[in-house]
């Protein structure tokens, strides 16, 4: 599967996952790569890890995978095909997720994960432990400290250069903030679906699916 951008001559090609068709093209750019035999189920996010590999949120398989520069796909966190809610102090592969979606890597190489169906923000720490950074696991919209707060299907997140995490809390139609002190607060949105600009506490969103911060 090959896509050329208009006028720029650049080529995008599938490097991970099986394509729906077995037909092959004579175009070298569309030939199978070392990754194309890998099976992914509704992957929803990729993130580059500073250690030199690509992370993939394999949403339908309830796990996080990594793609190495050598051309291999390896488990990173969670167990493929096994949904659950389990942190782990010893091994990230022993943790369980339920439809992980957004990911971001902070300055300490911790991987933050929007664990959508568990309504939590999880963290795969640089030392291999998996912990819950925020969210009680019960669907809701409460602010508060860490696991006292609640989310509704968080879909995406990002980390700024101070370590603050911003979350697209999709089911609550809000943008939330997880501070470095562990406190969750609302940044923007009333909690009612809509499309309204204005002051942050009066604005409305409709199932926000992505969030990012600028360099400022």
Q: Which CATH architecture has domain 87-216?
A: 6 Propeller (2.120)
Is 90 exceeded by the pLDDT of residue 88? yes
Reported pTM: 0.83
Q: How far apart, in Å, are the Cα atoms of 109 and each of 25, 126, 147, 156, 198?
A: 39, 6, 22, 18, 35
Task: Please tell me the distance from the alpha carbon of residue 115 to that of residue 80, in angstroms, as a whole number.
Answer: 15
Mean predicted confidence (pLDDT) in 141-155: 98
d(CA 202, CA 7): 42
Does pLDDT of 91 surpass 80?
A: yes
Query: For residues 31 and 25, what is the distance between their CA atoms, to the nearest angstrom?
Result: 7
Q: Which of 200, 21, 23, 47 is nearest to 113 (CA)?
A: 47
Q: Is the pLDDT of residue 155 over 90?
A: yes
Q: What rounded mean pLDDT belongs to the chain?
A: 87
Whether 210 shows a pLDDT value over 70: the answer reads yes
DSSP 204: B
Question: Domain residues of the chain, as ranges?
Answer: 1-38, 87-216
In angstroms, what CA-CA distances link 212 with 58, 136, 156, 160, 176? 21, 24, 9, 9, 12
Contacts of 173 (CB under 8 A, 6+ apart): 189, 190, 191, 192, 193, 194, 204, 205, 206, 207, 208
Query: CA-CA distances (angstroms) from residue 59 to 46, 52, 116?
Result: 11, 22, 9
């Amino acid at each position: 599967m090959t896509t050329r951008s208009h006028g720029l001559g650049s080529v995008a090609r599938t490097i991970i996952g099986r394509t729906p068709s077995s037909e092959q093209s004579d175009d070298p750019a569309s030939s199978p790569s070392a990754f194309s035999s890998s099976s992914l189920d509704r992957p929803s996010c990729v993130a580059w890890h500073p250690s030199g590999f690509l992370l993939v949120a394999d949403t339908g398989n309830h796990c996080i995978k990594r793609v190495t520069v050598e051309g291999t796909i390896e488990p990173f966190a969670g167990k493929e095909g096994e949904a659950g809610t389990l942190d782990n102090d010893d091994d990230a592969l022993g943790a369980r997720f339920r439809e992980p979606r957004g990911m971001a890597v902070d300055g300490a190489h911790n991987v933050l994960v929007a664990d959508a169906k568990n309504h939590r923000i999880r963290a795969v720490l640089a030392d291999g432990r998996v912990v819950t950074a925020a969210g009680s696991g019960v669907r809701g919209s409460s602010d508060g400290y860490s696991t006292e707060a609640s989310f509704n299907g968080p879909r995406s997140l990002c980390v700024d250069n101070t370590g603050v995490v911003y979350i697209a809390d999709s089911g609550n139609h809000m943008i939330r903030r997880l501070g470095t002190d562990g406190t969750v607060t609302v940044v923007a949105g009333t909690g009612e679906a809509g499309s309204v600009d204005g002051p942050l506490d009066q604005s409305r969103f409709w199932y926000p699916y992505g969030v990012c911060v600028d360099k400022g």
